[in-house]
Amino acid sequence: MLPISKENLKNAMAAQGVTDMCRATIRQCVNVAKTLEKTTGEPFVHLELGIPGLDACKVGVEAQLRAIESGVASVYPPAAGIPELKENGAKFVKAYTGIDLNPRGVIPTVGAMQACYNLLLECSQLACGRRAVLYLDPGFPSHYIQAKVLGLEVRSFDLGDYRGEKLRLKLEQMLSDGKVCAMVYSNPNNPSWMCLSEEELRIIGEMCTRYDVVALEDMAYMCMDFRRNEPHQPTVARYTDNWVMMISASKIFSYAGERIAVVAISDALYGRKYSALEERYGLATFGDNFAMTYLYVNISGASHSAQIALSAMFRAAAEGIYDFVAEIRRYAERAHRVKEIFLRHGFHLVYDKDIDADVSDGFFFTIGYNGLTGGELQQKLMRCGISAISLASSRSRREGVRICVALLKKEEDYSLLDDRLSLFSKKLCNCVF
Domain 6-43+329-428: give its CATH architecture: Alpha-Beta Complex (3.90)
**Rounded alpha-carbon distances, angstroms, from residue 321 to 133, 253, 254:** 39, 13, 17
Is residue 194 within 8 Å of residue 394, measured between CB atoms? no
- Tell me the pLDDT of the chain (433 aa) as tens digits: 899 999 999 999 999 999 988 888 899 999 999 999 999 999 999 999 999 999 999 999 999 999 999 999 999 999 899 999 999 999 999 999 999 999 999 999 999 999 999 999 999 999 999 999 999 999 999 999 999 999 999 999 999 999 999 999 999 999 999 999 999 999 999 999 999 999 999 999 999 999 999 999 999 999 999 998 887 999 999 999 999 999 999 999 999 999 999 999 999 999 999 999 999 999 999 999 999 999 999 888 899 999 999 999 999 999 999 999 999 999 999 999 999 999 999 999 999 999 999 999 999 999 999 989 999 999 999 999 999 999 999 999 999 999 999 999 999 999 999 999 999 999 876 665 4
Residue 39: name the closest of 410, 382, 407, 430 by CA.
Answer: 382
Domain boundaries, the chain: 6-43+329-428, 58-318
DSSP state, residue 291: I
Side-chain half-sphere exposure of 295, counting CA atoms within 13 A: 29
pTM: 0.95
Q: What class is the 58-318 domain?
A: alpha beta
DSSP state, residue 273: B
